[in-house]
Chains A and B, each alone.
Chain A
Amino acid sequence: MTALKTLYDKIWDAHVAQEDADGTCLLYIDRHLVHEVTSPQAFEGLRLAGRPVRAPEKTIAVPDHNVPTTLDREKGIENEESRIQVEALDKNARDFGVNYYPVSDIRQGIVHIVGPEQGWTLPGMTVVCGDSHTATHGAFGALAHGIGTSEVEHVLATQTLIQKKSKNMKVEITGHLRPGVTAKDITLSVIGATGTAGGTGYVIEYCGQAIRDLSMEGRMTVCNMAIEGGARAGIIAPDQKTFDYCMGRPHAPKGAQWEAAVTWWKTLFTDEGAHFDKVVTLKGEDIAPVVTWGTSPEDVLPITATVPAPESFTGGKVEAAQRALDYMGLTAGQKLTDIQIDTVFIGSCTNGRIEDLRAAAAVLKGKKIKAGMRAMVVPGSGLVRAQAEEEGLAQIFIDAGFEWRLAGCSMCLAMNPDQLAPGERCAATSNRNFEGRQGRGGRTHLLSPAMAAAAAITGHLTDIREMM
């Protein structure tokens, strides 16, 4: 009898090129995604050592973090350092012959949106990128995680990583979500339940009816934030929805190879009875629309709640919560729905896909954002943007008073000019509410696209269910 395996075990085993006696493995990497911020030093390392990229055909580069998202971006990048970094990627991509989507290409966008969109990301693959949100690709049943720049260089040179296997963790979301509750609420609620270090040392498999019911876009949102829970990766077993999403994409297999691929992909599930080292179960019905109140993604509460008192926590979290309240300019006991905001950001690798824009547009249709509100939509890729224009979503955003931007990471991490000023308060569909994340002194509340749209209209954090 063969040993029972989890999905993670199966993908791991299929990619071990070499294993040492102590369990240290060379893990073969099927897809290496590259962006401009974490790669220049890696390419420089290759040059200095005279090493080529081992598998340029499996390497995909796209600039996203630094690129301006304003409509005049063909004028070039004003900030000199940002421009040099994007130019460095351009040169490195061409010199080393890797697949490349320059800023001028309509397929350009956030690396984690471009990969799946172009069919580079497929079930059963190992996918890495010098970016923690690589976890996104786990939605396809791929083992996908972020790496540092030294590891980027290692993958470029050897197409492998030196790895030890993580432990298996199961996060099951049973039952069905209630109206107004989205994938973003699931993933934030899980982090709220487990803490930002709850997944450290694990690969999380998300499963259960509420996960199966999600679209591929929703599954990407869930896996995207696995890293915010500390996990190495998040993963969801592929199913017919996954195959349907992949079929016909530019780099997905065709014909007989497609058939062979699907046959293998259908074996990628956790065997009944396989061992998990940690199990967390949430009821879909118990999950509410949520927002973050603090400066860690674990600082999350249902929108109907009040700002917690630091003394309600234990240990070092008491000081951390007090610091968070001071930074966020909030008072314990304040209703979350009373928190006034001045900026709304819809976009990022967490919520910059077409389904996210549809959800926000559905709330905004025929409405106007509050006077004085600064609101922007930054599609995750040029193709998402084009599709949203085709579906009439762009016009809804523009009519409501949103800025309709070009694709990039934008205000998720504020490396480009899209930033918060000190004290500004943003309802953001992105993934991190750290101090200074969206600009020094800026205050971030994480939430779903529909909740962000609702806040743009009312001017304060709002329970989406009251607008449905």
Chain B
Amino acid sequence: MDKFTTLTGIAAPMPLLNIDTDMIIPKQFLKTIKRSGLGVNLFDEMRYTQDGKEIPTFVLNQPAYRKAEIIVAGDNFGCGSSREHAPWALLDFGIRAVISTSFADIFYSNCFKNGILPIVLPKAAVEVLMADAQKGANARITVDLEQQTVTASDGQSFAFDVDPFKKHCLLNGLDDIGLTLEKVKAIDTFEAAAAQSRPWV
């Protein structure tokens, strides 16, 4: 997993509420057995017509946002299925941070496993950043994970919360499984005790 430290980039505004994982990556692209290559189909049904032509009004098709690295989104981004194809598609497109007032639980967790930082901010802050993003490619937003701040192009800065463990893993690009396997003794002990107390499991 790539580290995430700081990022200054173009932010694409997507004010729609409840952008779900079927919108982010429709099911016909879940048939892959790989993690890569999904960026071209990110937001596929919002982004392309039935015959594969770009829909010019869709934000990521507009010249200013084609190289967006941040999305500023409406409430409850990533609701729906557990498909990790959603963050894989975002990452493959080049998105490294998503800012919203709230995220669906599984999507939120999936982002951290893939080097994407989901940032929860209060409504007023998201509105400021949304307006900033709507200015186009000249308005760059800066995300600093170490300092836990998001800074708009006019210098206005907002602090955000992030779980210390998730932050540590993201800052250092750490593999969860490797970390957990260092605690294998605790798992062995638990498993042995459970085999006594709940042998039917």
Contact = CB atoms under 8 A, between A and B. Distances in A.
Given A130-B84, A148-B109, A432-B81, 16 more contacts: A18-B183, A20-B165, A84-B31, A134-B82, A148-B106, A149-B35, A157-B181, A158-B187, A197-B76, A197-B104, A201-B105, A252-B200, A316-B75, A323-B16, A432-B20, A432-B80
A6 interface: no
Interface in A18-65: 18, 20, 22, 24, 26, 28, 30, 37-38, 40-41, 44-45, 49, 51, 54, 58, 65
Interface stretch (B53-61, B62-70, B142-150, B191-199): B191-199
Nearest to A27: B190
A435 interface: yes
Given A260-B200, A435-B22, A79 B31 contact: yes
B79 A196 contact: yes
Interface stretch (A109-117, A159-167, A378-386): A159-167
Nearest to B178: A49
A257 interface: yes
A85 B29 CA distance: 12
Contacts of A65: 30
A85 B22 CA distance: 19
B41 interface: no
Nearest to B31: A81
A413 B27 contact: yes
B17 interface: yes
B200 A432 contact: no
B187 A150 contact: no
A317 B17 contact: yes
B177 A17 contact: no
Interface in B74-100: 74-76, 79-84, 87
Interface in A123-154: 124-125, 130-132, 134, 145-151, 153-154
Contact of A17 (B113, B114, B186): B186
A422 interface: yes
A319 B15 contact: yes
Contacts of B176: 150, 154, 162
A293 to B, nearest CB: 15
Contacts of B155: none
Contacts of A296: 18, 20
Interface string B160-192: 000111000000000011011101101101110
Interface residues of B, number: 57
B33 interface: yes
B124 interface: no
A434 B80 contact: yes
Contacts of A151: 109-110, 113
Contact of B113 (A150, A200, A231): A150
B103 to A, nearest CB: 8
A145 B76 CA distance: 18
Interface of A: 17-18, 20, 22, 24, 26, 28, 30, 37-38, 40-41, 44-45, 49, 51, 54, 58, 65-66, 79, 81-82, 84-85, 88, 122, 124-125, 130-132, 134, 145-151, 153-154, 157-160, 162, 164, 196-197, 200-201, 227, 230-232, 252-253, 257-258, 260-261, 264, 296, 316-317, 319-320, 323, 413-415, 422, 432, 434-437, 440-441
Contacts of A413: 27, 81
Nearest to A321: B17
Nearest to A296: B18
Contacts of A130: 82, 84
A230 B17 CA distance: 14
The 3 closest A-B pairs by CB, nearest first: A253-B200, A150-B113, A81-B31
B17 A26 contact: no
A65 B85 CA distance: 15
Nearest to B111: A148
Contacts of A441: 50
A200 B84 contact: no
Given A154-B180, A316-B16, A148 B110 contact: yes
